[in-house]
Amino acid sequence: MLIFSLRRLSLFLFTIVLLTILSFSLSFLFPGDQLINLSGQVNATEEQLALLSESYRQGDSIISQYFAYLSHIMNADMGVSMSSQFPVWDEVIIHLPPTIELTFVALVMAMAVGIPLGFVAAIHHRTKIDNAVLTLSMLGYSIPVFWLGLLVILVFSIELGWFPSSGQISLLFEVEPVTGLLLIDILLSDSAFKWEAFQNALAHIILPACVVALAPATIFIRLARTSMMQVLDSHYITAASAKGLSLRQIIYRHGIRNAMVNVIRDVGLQFANLVTLAMVTEMIFSWPGIGRWLIESIYQRDYTAIQGGLLVLSSYIFIVHILTDFIYAWLNPMARGKKYGT
Amino acid sequence: MVNLLAKIQCFMRMQFTVVIALLLYGCNYSEEISSNNKSIVYCSEGVPESFNPQTVTSGVTIDVTSNQLYNRLITYDKDESIIIPALAKSWHVTEDGKKVTFYLRQDVHFHQTKDFTPSRKLNVDDVIFSFQRILDVNHPYYISAGGKFPFFQSVEFGDLIDHVEKINDYTVRFNLKRADSTILANLASDFAVILSKEYADNLAANNLHNNLDMNPVGTGPFKLMSYRPSAYIKYVPHENYWGEKSTLAQLIFDITPSSYTRLTKLLAKECDVISYPIAHEKINDRPDLELEGKTSFNVGYLGFNTQKPPLDNKNVRKAIAHAINKQAILETVYFSQADDASTILPKPSWAHDSSIQPPEYSIEKAKALLAEAGLSNGFKMDLWAMPVQRPYNPDARTMAKLIQSNLAKVNIDVNIVRDYEWSKFLSLIAEGQHQSVLLGWSADHPDPDNFFTPLLSCTSILTGSNRTFWCNETFDSLLAQALLTADIKERKVIYKKALQILADEMPLMPIAHSKRYQARKKIVKGEILNAFGGIDFSNVSKD
């Protein structure tokens, strides 16, 4: 397990270094002055520019400049946003937690719906139930997310009035930020309207999370179905069956557990897809997350924000990836022996 | 197998229950807030540039700040025709019109914010400070605003005021270089707000001059609680407000630039009021919503270059006015959301004269007038159509085409000129290159002089805002006469004469006064829209 952990950690560090190199090189690739692209100081005076040039070691070699950039990043200094002139790091701190919340809830939803359905389909292999589940998953996978987003707003917000169409919580509630994760912050607060606020925040997250969750859920259906079918086909299941265990016992004691292991392995891979969907969904639902912020920065040609946003968002995807690897290894001792990271 | 199915069914049932429970949460959420909370969420269209209306002219900023955070010495009443007391309980203008004295209220508190706790109430020092910053180019707060006070500079406030004088703690006098009856209108405009000198001094001591305009302290009915750029602005009622205190718990500006999103939020009950709504029919269809429109202080017109033949002949101008089917224009260009303009003054103006009727649409009359001018065979005319959208004229090119087809019936061959971008267009018009032009005017305050002088006086030919190049001495002397008196009745009589001259001479043909729209939930009560300037939430409540 130690070797496994070290390998994963070294992979993590290496990828992060690659990401910072990419982000650093973007400052050269974007139009305009490289120093201004890095710092975001569009209205800097001569003296300020001289100071900036010194702190980013502009006169030195590219390698030295890269290390200067890295030390700025380490000190949580990603420059200031070109459009708002607020520090990019502060903006990231504000916008990342809502995205974490949305993607996490969507992931849980996708797993909670997709995996059981996949198992059901596998158990009823080649029956009407199987066909129905597969059709459903095909349908869900084919719907474009922006169209689905608009559709659910039309039906559930405008026509039925059940859920709000935008934002994370009604602006009427004042929630003191502690962790940045709204649902948790509400529970931590001592406001008299705590439960109303929680309910309101929950109502806000349901529609966007369902929209984000749909496509991954269909993939989980297929993964879970294949995985369960493999397990049910294996020799130990035949052995268990020969021992006289009922199908129910087989599924509960051996099937689900062993099938889950394979599904968990792919959760990390699905996560990148999920974040991409979340970015589009954040735009549609005016969700105050980092995806929406990044897309708006792209519209405004805010190069500093684009660099910072990409770096943070890709690191986030990668961290989740590594975490699922660890969970997989924890569930499946055989995986710990694997030498190479995936 | 059966057992397993039963388990799965049970599981699905549980999930279904959870989903239903969440849906019920959803059903409840909006009613909960509206019944327990007396707050208003106003979905506005943009981000304010500043929190001080002295330094800007943008409508978004005026909406957010002027009537909410601040008060002026004087203001307009609900009908926006009479000036009424605000921070000044009364005022007096000397007979020669050169001295205006204001007597202040004594019980006016400034906002207490997290950065500032006022130690005294409003007095004359605050009034002098608020105007001195605009008048004195060496004032530190003149410098901190970059010397930009666009409204005051456009009305040449600095040239008019000699000095502002303190008589005692609650009496202040504006000494003018010459009489000007628009001084009161200017001081009642949304821009003439009163700031706290004590707060400004505190900031200056810490070298934080910019905070005066960005972290506002005023005397208005609301004070700023929090602001997140591009996201929201939260106000709470001012607990020591001198006037009637607001019954709202909070006033929230939810900044939503997309008009589609604003509409969605209104339909989904997330906004109580939205600015500039689209899809009016959809809103009218909903029993819980209402759409309201108010005629703005603007005018869209067809201007004739009276220096160029044959438009130097008033009969030709009148003939054109008779030949244009204005009703069709109002329906096509304004979608019937504008008032037919009979004069340059919109109906809410106190100088509006309803006895003057717009020229009737009659091809016969037009032909007769043209024959009288010796042009029964018609002529060729250039018509310049502005290349941009403005509230007073949302689509000048379509309007030009309609006019073209109308005038073809009386043998006038219209050539539409539209090849220039906006600033080039304006500069060529100011040079008088055009024969006729579709333009408009939005007033800064409701004083009728703000329509007459810039649009049609002889001096404004030189400054470039009179695009008709029409100069009439009788008309000009009437305008000057009106400025010398502060008596509204007297001024009404004078402006009536002026309007009659315009109707007879027809240097321009007024087309429409457009409306500003807003949609709200029916449970929101009170007047929000003003005919000119910013919106006002001070009298708004929620049932």
B243 and B371 inside one domain: no
A220, A270 Cβ separation under 8 angstroms: yes
Torsion of CA A93, A99, A102, A107, to 10 degrees: -120
B41 touching A (Cβ < 8 Å): yes
B45, B534 Cβ separation under 8 angstroms: no
B507, B204 Cβ separation under 8 angstroms: no
B369 and B497 inside one domain: yes
B134 and B241 inside one domain: no
Closest CA to B514 of B392, B350, B375: B392
pLDDT digits 0-9 by tens, B330-345: 998 888 888 899 999 9
Domain that holds residue B306: 298-516
B139 and B238 inside one domain: no
* Phi, psi of B138, deg, nearest 5: -95, 0
Q: How far is A158 from chain B (nearest CA, A)?
A: 5
At residue A338 the predicted structure's pLDDT band, cuts being 50, 70 and 90, is low
Return the SS3 of B253: strand
Residue B33 CA to residue A107 CA, distance in Å, equals 29
* Phi, psi of A302, deg, nearest 5: -90, 85
Poorest-pLDDT segment among A200-209, A285-294, B52-61: B52-61
| CATH number of the domain encompassing residue B407 | 3.10.105.10
Which pLDDT does position B458 carry in this prediction? 87
Residue B294 CA to residue B534 CA, distance in Å, equals 12
Q: State the sign of the Cα–Cα–Cα–Cα dihedral B369, B371, B374, B375.
A: positive
Q: Burial, A127: exposed, middle or buried (Cβ in 10 Å; 0-12, 13-18, 19+)? A: exposed
Whether residues B29 and A112 touch (CB distance < 8 A) is answered with: no
At residue A185 the predicted structure's pLDDT band, cuts being 50, 70 and 90, is very high
| Preceding omega of B310 cis (within 30 degrees of 0) | yes
Indicate whether B84 belongs to any domain: yes
Whether residues B268 and A157 touch (CB distance < 8 A) is answered with: yes
Residue A342 CA to residue A333 CA, distance in Å, equals 16
Residue B469 CA to residue B457 CA, distance in Å, equals 9
* Phi, psi of B182, deg, nearest 5: -85, -5
Whether residues A202 and B22 touch (CB distance < 8 A) is answered with: yes
The per-type count for chain A, helices as H runs and strands as E runs, is 15, 0
| CATH number of the domain encompassing residue B197 | 3.90.76.10
B267 touching A (Cβ < 8 Å): yes
| Residue A62 to residues A25, A76, B172, B525, Cα–Cα distance (Å) | 10, 21, 66, 64
Q: Which residues contact B205 (CB under 8 A, 6 or more apart)?
A: none
Q: Which helix (H) or strand (E) holds A269?
A: helix A256-284
What Rg do the C-alpha atoms of chain A give, in angstroms? Answer: 24
pLDDT digits 0-9 by tens, A34-59: 888 888 888 788 888 898 888 899 88
**Pairing label, strands B379-385, B436-442:** parallel
B189 and B242 inside one domain: no
Give the end of a domain, one of B167, B196, B218.
B218
Q: Which residues contact A154 (CB under 8 A, 6 or more apart)?
A: none
B433, B392 Cβ separation under 8 angstroms: no
**Pairing label, strands B379-385, B412-417:** parallel
Which pLDDT does position B194 carry in this prediction? 95
Return the SS3 of B73: coil
Scanning B122-181 for CB atoms below 8 A from A yields none
Average pLDDT value for residue range B219-246 = 92
Torsion of CA B196, B198, B200, B206, to 10 degrees: -150
Give the tokens for residue B120.
């005294």
What residue type is assigned to position A35 of the chain?
Answer: L
Q: What share of chain A is helix, strand, coil (3-state, %, to 5)?
A: 75, 0, 25
Q: Is the pLDDT of residue A128 over 60?
A: yes
Indicate whether B66 belongs to any domain: no
Phi/psi region, residue A57 (left: phi>0; alpha: psi -120 to 50; beta: rest), is left
Which pLDDT does position B508 carry in this prediction? 93
Indicate whether B359 belongs to any domain: yes
At residue B239 the predicted structure's pLDDT band, cuts being 50, 70 and 90, is very high
Judging contacts by C-beta atoms under 8 Å, the chain A residues touching residue B229 are: 84, 86
Which pLDDT does position B5 carry in this prediction? 45
Q: Is the pLDDT of residue A301 over 50?
A: yes
Tally the domains of chain B.
3
Residue with tokens 């974490």, as numbered in its chain: A100
Q: Which residue has the higher pLDDT, B121 or B14?
A: B121
Other beta carbons within 10 angstroms of residue B168's beta carbon come to 10
B91, B74 Cβ separation under 8 angstroms: yes
B350 and B474 inside one domain: yes
B156 and B262 inside one domain: no
Buried b (16+ CB within 10 A) or exposed e, A177-190: eeeebbbebbeebe
Give the tokens for residue B188.
């009642």
Q: Is the pLDDT of residue B4 over 50?
A: no
Q: Is the pLDDT of residue A117 over 60?
A: yes
DSSP 8-class letter at B247: -
At residue B21 the predicted structure's pLDDT band, cuts being 50, 70 and 90, is low
pLDDT digits 0-9 by tens, B359-413: 999 999 999 999 998 888 889 999 999 887 777 888 888 999 999 999 999 999 9
B319 and B199 inside one domain: no
A330, A101 Cβ separation under 8 angstroms: no
Average pLDDT value for residue range B303-332 = 91
Give the end of a domain, one of B218, B241, B258.
B218
Judging contacts by C-beta atoms under 8 Å, the chain B residues touching residue A111 are: none
Q: How far is A150 from chain B (nearest CA, A)?
A: 10
Return the SS3 of A134: helix
Tell me which fold the domain A88-301 belongs to: MetI-like fold (1.10.3720)
Whether residues A116 and B8 touch (CB distance < 8 A) is answered with: yes
Other beta carbons within 10 angstroms of residue B54's beta carbon come to 26
B174 and B280 inside one domain: no
Judging contacts by C-beta atoms under 8 Å, the chain A residues touching residue B268 are: 153, 157-158, 161, 163-166
DSSP B277-310: -S-HHHHHH-TTEEEEEEE-SEEEEEEE-TTSTT
Residue B373 CA to residue B63 CA, distance in Å, equals 49
Whether residues A199 and B28 touch (CB distance < 8 A) is answered with: yes
B302 and B284 inside one domain: no
Residue B66 CA to residue B44 CA, distance in Å, equals 15
* Phi, psi of B333, deg, nearest 5: -85, -40
Residue with tokens 């008032």, as numbered in its chain: B339
B394 and B511 inside one domain: yes
Residue B95 CA to residue B484 CA, distance in Å, equals 10
Average pLDDT value for residue range B76-90 = 85
Give the tokens for residue B48.
């304010």
Residue with tokens 């890295």, as numbered in its chain: A70
Indicate the length of chain B as a whole number.
543
Buried b (16+ CB within 10 A) or exposed e, B510-539: bbbbbbbbbbbbeebebebbbbbbbbbbbb
Judging contacts by C-beta atoms under 8 Å, the chain A residues touching residue B25 are: 199, 202-203
Closest CA to B438 of B322, B517, B326, B293: B326
Q: Is the pLDDT of residue B319 over 60?
A: yes
Indicate the length of chain A as a whole number.
342
Q: Which residues contact B281 (CB under 8 A, 6 or more apart)?
A: none
Judging contacts by C-beta atoms under 8 Å, the chain A residues touching residue B270 are: 164-167, 170
Q: Is the pLDDT of residue B17 over 80?
A: no
The alpha helices in B46-123, defined as continuous H runs, are: 59-69
Give the tokens for residue A161.
């009035």
Q: Burial, A134: exposed, middle or buried (Cβ in 10 Å; 0-12, 13-18, 19+)? A: middle
* Phi, psi of B380, deg, nearest 5: -100, 145
* Closest by Cβ to B26, choosing from A116, A170, A206: A206
Give the tokens for residue B130.
């608020």
pLDDT digits 0-9 by tens, B57-76: 777 888 899 999 999 999 98
Q: Which residue has the higher pLDDT, B264 or B16?
A: B264
Other beta carbons within 10 angstroms of residue A57's beta carbon come to 16
Average pLDDT value for residue range A122-137 = 92
| CATH number of the domain encompassing residue B536 | 3.40.190.10
At residue B138 the predicted structure's pLDDT band, cuts being 50, 70 and 90, is very high
Q: Which helix (H) or strand (E) holds B226?
A: strand B222-228
At residue A339 the predicted structure's pLDDT band, cuts being 50, 70 and 90, is low
Give the tokens for residue A46.
């001569």
Indicate whether B14 belongs to any domain: no
| Residue B105 to residues A270, B170, B171, B218, Cα–Cα distance (Å) | 67, 7, 10, 15
At residue B27 the predicted structure's pLDDT band, cuts being 50, 70 and 90, is very low
Residue B396 CA to residue B455 CA, distance in Å, equals 19
Q: Is the pLDDT of residue B33 over 70?
A: no
Give the tokens for residue A282.
């954040």
B208 and B94 inside one domain: yes
What Rg do the C-alpha atoms of chain B give, in angstroms? Answer: 27
Q: Which residue has the higher pLDDT, A334 or B206?
A: B206
DSSP 8-class letter at B509: E
pLDDT digits 0-9 by tens, B46-62: 888 889 999 887 778 88
Taking every pair of C-alpha atoms in chain A, what is the biggest distance, in angstroms?
Answer: 84
Percent pLDDT > 90 in chain A is 54
| Residue A11 to residues A208, A323, B42, B102, B489, Cα–Cα distance (Å) | 33, 13, 50, 75, 85
Residues of chain A with CATH 1.10.3720.10: 88-301
Which pLDDT does position A223 carry in this prediction? 93
Give the end of a domain, one of B202, B218, B234.
B218
Instruction: Work out the end-to-end distance of chain B between its first and last CA atoms, rounded to an integer number of angstroms.
Output: 58
Whether residues A113 and B252 touch (CB distance < 8 A) is answered with: no
> How large is the ipTM?
0.82
- Provide the mean pLDDT of chain B: 86
Buried b (16+ CB within 10 A) or exposed e, A285-306: bbbbbbbbbbbbbeeeebbbbb
Bridge partners for B235 per DSSP: B224, B251
Q: Is the pLDDT of residue B32 over 80?
A: no
Judging contacts by C-beta atoms under 8 Å, the chain B residues touching residue A165 are: 264-265, 268, 270
